[in-house]
Amino acid sequence: MTLYAIFDPLNPEPTYGSIDTLLAQWDNEPRHEAGPSYVYAFRDASGSVFYVGKGRGSRAHDADEHRHGRLGYYVAEFLNHTYNVEILRSGLSNDDAELLESLLISHFGRQLVNWAGNVGATTQTVTVAEARETAQALRVRAQAAASERRLNDAVSICREGLSYFSEWERADHEAELCQLRELADASLAARVDLHEKQHDYVPHAPVAACEILSDLTQYLCASGRAEDARREVEAFTARYPHGSFCDYEIYDYRYGKMIQVAITKREHATVRRIDRAIAKAGALSRGPRGKSRHDS
């Protein structure tokens, strides 16, 4: 049986005791023509392989290429950026490099941070699509109330929507933690993800929640409650410090430094709406020639 038969569903997959065993069999199998690609591995201080990849040129030794996602987090938080690079096999065609990388991940994925499991995909009791449908229904209800000048009802509906998303995000996070705990004993990737979710987790505001908040501020401003609108934005930003209604900094593992993330156009528009409403209310309270109505 050739190495390619490993992917034949009619044949049982062989069991490899180590990466070296797999590589030894790989060397005995026919290959495509030679090429510029290679397969590399990262080893920690104890010599354990924790990541495999394929590349050309200097990719394996370019730290900037490996500061993203789970790998970047693991290298920074668990290994203090200390690891060794090993070229497992070189002179490969792109097809052979992809095949060898896939074999290594398939058979040794539980000890790798580039484990192929899609953690979190099965945890949601309410899917993102279902949550968006709920948000849209709430927004339609609020818009209908506002069109009938029932602004207080529109405000209440929007606040109901924000509470819904807060609970949805919390429940989804807890479900993901539960799944990661179950997988952590057998998977390095799950242990890394669990550590990040427990120690460095920052909730991100769903787009639909941002849309509801924008609607809420509109209704509050229309009813002369611009200061309440500002307080709603402040509470939302405290709940979702990333991806909310203010600029924020985040550590970018790709570059090993803090980067500034700018507020989006929608959030800019919301903040400007509130500022205009507050300025208008201030002008009205001063009355003509800058005098306060309370002074007349």
CB 66 within 8 A of CB 57: no
Q: Which of 23, 19, 41, 42 is nearest to 31 (CA)?
A: 23
**Is residue 274's pLDDT more than 80?**
yes
**Is residue 133's pLDDT more than 50?**
yes
Please count the residues of the chain: 296
Cα-based distances in Å from 100 to 33, 60, 171: 14, 15, 39
What average pLDDT does this structure show over 130-148? 95
Ranking 2-16, 130-144, 146-160, 167-181 by mean pLDDT, the lowest is: 2-16
The residues near 126 (Cβ < 8 Å, ≥ 6 apart) are 134, 168, 171, 172
Per-residue pLDDT tens digits for 211-251 = 999 999 999 999 999 999 999 999 999 898 876 777 777 77
Q: What is the pLDDT of residue 31?
A: 77
Secondary structure of residue 87 in the 3-state scheme: strand
Cα–Cα distance between 33 and 96 in angstroms, integer?
9
CA dihedral for 259, 66, 204, 238, sign (positive or negative) = negative
**Is residue 284's pLDDT more than 90?**
no
Cα-based distances in Å from 103 to 3, 6, 12, 290: 9, 9, 14, 76
What average pLDDT does this structure show over 27-35? 85
pTM score, whole prediction: 0.71
Confidence of residue 7 (pLDDT cuts 50, 70, 90): very low
Question: What crossing angle do the helices spanning 94-108 and 19-27 adopt, rounded to 10°?
Answer: 150
Q: What is the pLDDT of residue 8?
A: 36
Residue 167 is encoded by which pair of tokens? Answer: 């609970």
**Is residue 268's pLDDT more than 60?**
yes
Phi, psi at 192, each rounded to 5°: -65, -45
